Each structure stands twice: as C-alpha cells, then as structure tokens.
Amino acid sequence: MKASVYIATSLDGYIARRNGDIDWLHNPEYTLEGEDFGYSAFMDSVDVIVMGRNTFDKVLSFGGWHYSKPVYVLTSRELDLPDSLKSKVFRISGSPLKVMDELNSMGFSHIYVDGGITIQAFKKARLIDRFIITRIPKMLYEGIPLFDPSKPDWDLNIHSVKEFDNGFVQLTCHPI
Ligand SMILES: NC(=O)c1ccc[n+]([C@@H]2O[C@H](COP(=O)([O-])OP(=O)(O)OC[C@H]3O[C@@H](n4cnc5c(N)ncnc54)[C@H](OP(=O)(O)O)[C@@H]3O)[C@@H](O)[C@H]2O)c1
C-alpha cells in the first residue's frame, strides 16, 4: 500500500490563506495552454483519495465534482452528502494507520492524501512515500502551512525538480 501527496504551496510554504481561501491559486496568469502540471498522470497513478474534512468542504463549495476516483473524507462528524455523491464519497475516521489498513483491505493500493492536517498526520505516522509539491511564485506571509513549523528537522531525497514557464517549480521527493 502506497500513499502520495500532490499539492501546491505558496513560496513560503502555505497551502491556503488562514481562512482556507485558495483564490491565490486561481490566477489566470498561471494558466499554460495544454499543461496540467502532471495532475492527470498523478491521478492515474492512484486508486483512492483520502481528504480531510476541511478540504472536502472547500471542494464542495466550488460546486461540480471532478474526481474520477473514490473519495474518503476523514472526519469525526456526520457527512451529509448530496444524492449525486453518495456512490462516490464516503466517510472514514481513525488514525492514518487504521485508515490505510481499512483501505488496503478494500483492495486499494495507492492513496492520494490531501488536506493540511491530514497530510501532517500521515507524514507523522511515516506513511507518505512520495510528495509532489508545486511551489507557486507567490508569498502569502501567513496561512495554513503544509508542514507544522514546530516539528524537528526532516530529510528528503529529491527525485526531480521541474520548472514551468509560469514560474511554478515542482519538486518530487521521498522521505528518507
Ligand atoms: N494548496 C493546495 O493544493 C491545497 C490542497 C488541499 C487543500 N488545500 C486547502 O487546505 C485547507 C484545508 O486544510 P486543513 O489543514 O484545514 O485540513 P484538512 O486535512 O483538509 O481537514 C482537517 C479535518 O479533517 C478531519 N480529520 C483529520 N484527520 C482525521 C482523523 N484521523 N480522523 C477523523 N477526522 C480527521 C478533522 O475534521 P472533523 O472536525 O470533521 O473531525 C480535521 O479538522 C482548505 O482551505 C483547502 O482548500 C489546499
């Protein structure tokens, strides 16, 4: 069973503004014709998505549904789903290890882990095999960090670094 992260951060390491807004990601100047920054290839490589409740609420607020893989929402609360999502979205809870085991027993083999708190919990449990982090040329100065700044040093192997014409820099790395 594998787990990967595919996420965008500001240059100073935030995944969202403090209030959860990701408006800064949707800048038309960032669009490159025919370029999806490896998203489709990444989505093809996973067979299930685990996302934190806050990320799910944000995704729902945009309307529409763009995920082709089943989504398991990590939450300790009830999940009130519209009928259209009842066969696509499921509730899950428990520790990252329990979640991994549960999904493994359902036959899944590669998880896309999404959401700040959720990624930090999976990382702390040493369950993430690969991080694909796209650095956006934008400083936010404050917000929701991808990684908890109070945690100790952490070493990674850089597998590749890709630069895009719009200034995005994408690092693929593996925890040592
Ligand atoms: N820049 C990007 O590419 C990117 C990508 C993804 C998300 N985002 C943004 O990041 C923000 C959300 O991140 P976030 O750090 O707030 O958190 P998150 O990981 O999306 O959600 C955290 C919530 O998930 C639930 N949860 C987490 N672990 C759990 C567990 N083991 N068992 C049960 N429930 C668990 C808890 O909610 P309950 O209270 O329901 O239990 C927790 O408060 C959103 O604004 C989103 O738009 C940005």
pLDDT in tens, 98-154: 999 999 999 999 999 999 999 999 999 999 999 999 999 999 999 999 998 887 888
pTM greater than 0.95: yes
Residue 47 predicted with pLDDT over 90: yes
Residue 89, ligand 1, Cβ within 6 A:
no
* 54, 58, 64, 65: CA torsion to nearest 10: -40
**DSSP code string of 10-75:** ETTSEEE-TTS--GGG--GGG--TT--TTHHHHHHH-SEEEEEHHHHHHHHHT-S---SS-EEEE-
- Mutational test site, ligand 1, from 6, 15, 134, max ligand atoms within 8 Å of CB: 15
Residue 60 · residue 80 · CB < 8 Å? no
Distance 52 CA to ligand 1 centre (A): 3
Euclidean distance between CA atoms 16 and 24, whole angstroms = 8
Residue 4 · residue 42 · CB < 8 Å? yes
Q: Is 153 helix (H, G, I), strand (E, B) or coil?
A: coil
Q: Which fold has domain 12-22+47-167?
A: Dihydrofolate Reductase, subunit A (3.40.430)
Query: pLDDT value at position 35?
Result: 97
